[in-house]
Amino acid sequence: MRLENKTVIITGGGTGIGFACAERFHKEGARLALFGRRKEVLRAAAKRLGPDVLAVPGDITREDDVDMLVELTLKQFGRIDVLVNNAGTLGGWPLHETSSDAWDEVLNTNLRGLFLLTRRVLQQMVKQQSGSIVHVSSILGLVAVPQTGAYNVSKGALNQLCRSIAVEYGPMNIRSNAICPGMVETDMTEALRANEDMMTDWKEHYYPMRRFARPEEVANACLFLASDESSFITGTLLPVDGGFTAM
């Protein structure tokens, strides 16, 4: 029960890595507030976990929705101990063909929206003089691949935001860490993984473990950084990538 009596907000909590975190954290005693855009998916996820899980539908790029999430969480649980910044979107185009709207959509979700929620949660954590923030970044915040310029930039900036929070709020006992997964077998990557020839090539040439991650493997890393087991770890960028960035 590593998160017993701790309140955790998980964005993008209805599917994929977010739901895997919700399942793992709930088993460890956490009181959960799940946030996401797809109302029915989110509520179904909360129902699977139990009646004590709060589901708050909303859009992370909207300040009113972010404020509502924090207010409802505090009303029900009284504090916020952990924030898992998992909400995000992919986008793949040659840079010279990337529209301004497409660029803005990726950056607004992956960076600006994350900033809006983190800023609001930090206000509460400063009052408490404690907290742990876990950002779900990507290996593409550490290295770059072609045709994902907006995504690369959003995750690279997120990694620097993670470190900025760590150095600014460390004196207040607030920790900030990021995990950087490689390819994870989730709904978000399903279309990409449908290209079997390309996926076989990737596994053979870029992933020393010759496979992709399961969501629960990423959730385990998130749990470690969220819990007191990592109490002297802050500002770190942890690859969860089967050796991709070691190549």
Answer yes or no: is 224 within a domain.
yes
Answer yes or no: is 234 within a domain.
yes
Answer yes or no: is 191 within a domain.
no
| 54 bridge partner residues | 33
Dmax (CA) of the chain: 52
**DSSP annotation of 150:** H
DSSP assignment of 169-212, as one string?
Answer: HGGGTEEEEEEEE--B-SGGGHHHHT-HHHHHHHHHHH-TTSSP
Q: What is the pLDDT of residue 193?
A: 82
What are the start-end ranges of the H helices in the chain?
16-27, 39-49, 63-77, 100-107, 113-128, 149-169, 190-193, 196-206, 215-226
Answer yes or no: is 209 within a domain.
no
Answer yes or no: is 69 within a domain.
yes
Query: What are 74-110's pLDDT values in tens digits?
Result: 999 999 999 999 999 998 899 999 999 999 999 999 9
Please identify which of the residues 151, 169, 206, 207 carries the catalytic annotation.
151
Answer yes or no: is 200 within a domain.
no
Q: How far apart are the first and last CA of the chain?
A: 36
For residue 188, give every residue at least 6 positions away whose Cβ sits within 8 Å of its Cβ, in sequence order, or none.
15, 16, 90
Answer yes or no: is 138 within a domain.
yes
| pLDDT of 198 higher than 90 | no
Q: How many domains does the chain divide into?
A: 1
Answer yes or no: is 167 within a domain.
yes
Q: What is the pLDDT of residue 189?
A: 82
Query: What are 111-152's pLDDT values in tens digits?
Result: 999 999 999 999 999 999 999 999 999 999 999 999 999 999
Confidence of residue 68 (pLDDT cuts 50, 70, 90): very high
* Among candidate residues 242, 163, 240, 228, the one with its CA nearest the CA of residue 3: 228
Report the percentage of the chain scoring pLDDT > 90.
Answer: 93
Q: Please give the Cα distance from 87 to 111 (Å, whole number).
A: 10
User: Which CATH number belongs to the domain containing residue 107 in this structure?
Assistant: 3.40.50.720
Q: What is the pLDDT of residue 190?
A: 80
For residue 55, give every residue at least 6 positions away whose Cβ sits within 8 Å of its Cβ, in sequence order, or none.
33, 34, 42, 43, 45, 46
Q: Please give the Cα distance from 96 to 98 (Å, whole number).
A: 6
Catalytic annotation on 151? yes
Averaged over 151-170, what is the pLDDT? 98
| 236 bridge partner residues | none
What's the domain range around 49? 7-184+214-240
